[in-house]
Amino acid sequence: MPSDHNPWNLPGNGGNRPRVPDTGPPWGGPPRRPPDLDHLAQSARDYLHRFLQGGPRALALTGIILVAVWLFTGIYRVQPDELGLVLRFGAYTRSTPPGLNWHIPWPIETAQVLAVTRINRVEIGFRSEIAEEDLTNPHTPSGSAADADRPESGLRQESLMLTGDENIVDINASVFWRVRDAAAYAFNTRNQAITVKSAAESVLRQVIGHTNIQSALTGGRAAIEEAVTTGTQKILDDYRTGIEITQVQLQKVDPPADVIESFRDVQRANTDADRAQKDAQSYSNDIVPRARGDAAAILAQAQGDKQAAIATANGQAQRFLSVYAAYTQAREVTLKRLYIETMQELLSHSDTTIVDDRLRGTLPLLSLNPNRTPTAPEATP
């Protein structure tokens, strides 16, 4: 007898669960029936029974198919700008060139593909869109999300460096690198771009610490770039990273923004001082040679006068000696000759006045001024 507590104890139902008619899917069509599990199991048993009745030949064929499928999974493709690395039980064994290659399938061997011709870039003191793309590219690990989202204050601290003369400069630099040894790159170093950035920043601070600010701001940038490239490459080679530094570029070398105006004033003052010094040097280069030339001319003239005076004195001394020798041999003749020559010398340098013998009572006038024009003598009464 049905219980009164049966939820299906309804009048006219006899205590049985009410049947809901199967109307099929809500979109119409034939009624949907649940799968018959017994039928599926029986079909599987029949297929297995027929397969086992095939004997060893069927098993061998099945094994060949499975082995072929397994070997086919070892085919992989390497792009023209990539290089394949084959690992056997996790240990590196060989490299494969671009194209279709094959390795023993998993779990014996696995293959990794790396882009080896791409020129990567890390930046010191600033971040560009290219750097942010590299930071988020999983195939080119060049940083971390924290580095990409570094606040502006952190970048400012990264770009400020101390020079050799104890000044501060604001430097932005880009370091370009590529993969030289794919195996060393993949297995010797983790976070390769962070390693490149850390090594380059360390070397850059060291080089700037031995460079004066004037050289860093003007003509010393090429030497700084070369020194940073060489130093960074040495560190990476010591770490056996398989990375080659292709170029280091200094994007900006300026004084800090807080003192840049004052620094420019100092630079302008230094420029004016250099210009004044060059003007003074130019004037010195002009006046000193001329003064030296005048001094040399005066010395040469004095030397000539000295030689002329000595020659004249020697000539007069020789003349006196020759006259004295003649005087000792003929005194009268020599005295008369000396008298005549002396009078000739005197009269040739004095004014001559001729007076007629018939004139009487004339007063000769002796002119003592050599520049005075001679005048006729005045007649006396």
pLDDT tens track for 174-190: 999 999 988 889 888 88
Question: What's the chain's length in residues?
Answer: 381
What average pLDDT does the segment 282-304 reach? 91
Q: According to the model, what pLDDT value does residue 3 have?
A: 44
pTM: 0.53
> How many other CB atoms are there within 10 angstroms of residue 362's CB atom?
14
User: Does the pLDDT value for residue 14 go beyond 90?
Assistant: no
Instruction: Please tell me the distance from the alpha carbon of residue 91 to that of residue 186, in angstroms, as a whole number.
Output: 12
User: Does the pLDDT value for residue 20 go beyond 60?
Assistant: no
Cα angle 244, 250, 253; round to 5: 155
Identify the residue with better confidence: 228 or 254: 228
Instruction: Please tell me the distance from the alpha carbon of residue 139 to that of residue 155, in angstroms, as a whole number.
Output: 25
Instruction: Please tell me the distance from the alpha carbon of residue 324 to that of residue 335, in angstroms, as a whole number.
Output: 11
Distance, CA of 222 to chain centre: 3
Domains, in order of start, for the chain = 72-114 (no CATH), 120-263 (3.30.479.30)
**pLDDT interval class at 8 (50, 70, 90):** very low
Q: According to the model, what pLDDT value does residue 172 have?
A: 92
User: Does the pLDDT value for residue 379 go beyond 50?
Assistant: no
Q: According to the model, what pLDDT value does residue 377 have?
A: 47
Helical spans, DSSP H, in the chain: 37-53, 56-72, 129-136, 145-148, 152-159, 182-187, 192-209, 213-217, 221-239, 260-329, 331-347
Identify the residue with better confidence: 174 or 355: 174
Contact residues for 161 (Cβ-Cβ < 8 A; gap 6+):
168, 169, 171, 204, 205, 208, 209
Q: According to the model, what pLDDT value does residue 137 have?
A: 46
User: Does the pLDDT value for residue 135 go beyond 70?
Assistant: no
Closest to 119 in 3D by CA, of 25, 246, 206, 14: 246
Helical spans, DSSP H, in 12-128: 37-53, 56-72
Query: Look-up: residue for tokens 């005549």?
Result: 340
